[in-house]
Amino acid sequence: MTTAPVANQLPQTLEPRNPGTAFDLDWAMDVRINTSAVERRCATLPGRRSIKKSHQAAWLCRAISCIDLTTLSGDDTKGRVRRLCAKARQPVSQAMLEELGLPDLQVGAVCVYHDMIETAVQALQGTGIPVAAVSTGFPAGLSPFHLRVAEIEESVKAGAKEIDIVISRRHVLTQNWQGLFDEMAAFRKACGDAHVKAILATGELGSLRNVARASRICMMAGADFIKTSTGKESVNATLPVTLTMIRAIRDFYARTGFRVGYKPAGGISKAKDALMYLALIKEELGDRWLRPDLFRFGASSLLGDIERQLDHHLTGAYSAAHRHPIG
């Protein structure tokens, strides 16, 4: 694998938004998933892709630029969110950034609950880093429908530029694909100019076939991103789920000409895991999807491990985790 150019070294080309398409149940159902083949494909990835030295450092910097730095805890405070935003503005130490030749490296976004949007927007003012808000009764998505729509509208009004919505899993489990399409279309409309990420909660959908069908339906309804998980399920992002979802994205692009983004979330905490996700994206979708407008990691602890790996690259020694605080 060749060195990846880092995001802030490239002109940021924003894609035209996915406007959605008419509901097409035949296309949504016309999907076949060979689960054992998907698992074999993913199992071979670590052995085929070994990224070392300066190439690894470049790929890890790319991963940083694609992180949605996240705090979604019941004990979140304004102080914690401000510290997280400070970390988003300067994800690794300034000395390391200077030595890497990337003094302006920043994360892709900061993701918070609705109540913390105003605090995050103020803390990130002037940086260009967008605030993403989880919405629609996150994480279960079981609040009344009109309240879920209203929550989106309130978050957009508060300054969120991206909205991470959760779908109703029951629509997938009961094969109510029209219901899923209508719900997603309503959420997309409520977002207005804010980009919408559809969280599928893949660990609760029962099969990779359901994951592929739900991915297609959400993209038909206008999702700007499809996202694996809330991070609250027992099973979150995995490579087989990722392969299934990004192939759905590839199919949608071939069918419509619109690129939809992808966000794996939950359980990605090690730099070596981030490299495998980036490698899979490069192989299946190509370099264009390796920019923050089309790819994000939903993570909180991942940044700390990446910082340790970059420190090792520059000094030859591993530092203690507490020397690289997350916020």
The catalytic position among 87, 161, 197, 227 is: 227
Q: Check if the beta carbon of residue 279 is closer than 8 Å to that of residue 1.
A: yes
Instruction: Single out the catalytic residue among 161, 197, 263, 282.
Output: 263
Give the E-state strand segments of 75-209 in sequence order.
109-112, 131-134, 162-166, 195-199
Whether 263 is a known active-site residue: answer: yes
Q: Cα-atom radius of gyration of the chain, to the nearest Å? A: 19
Kindly give, in sequence order, each residue whose CB lies less than 8 Å from that of residue 82, ignoring residues fewer than 6 positions away. 119, 123
161 classed as catalytic: no
- Cβ neighbors of 183 (< 8 A, separation 6 or more) are 145, 167, 168, 171, 221
Q: How far is residue 27 from each of residues 59, 92, 176, 209, 270, measured CA to CA in Å?
A: 36, 45, 15, 13, 37
Q: Which of 68, 164, 273, 305 is catalytic?
A: 164
Q: Is 244 helix (H, G, I), strand (E, B) or coil?
A: helix
257 Rama class: left (phi>0) / alpha (psi -120 to 50) / beta:
left
164 is catalytic: yes
* Residues assigned a catalytic role: 164, 227, 263
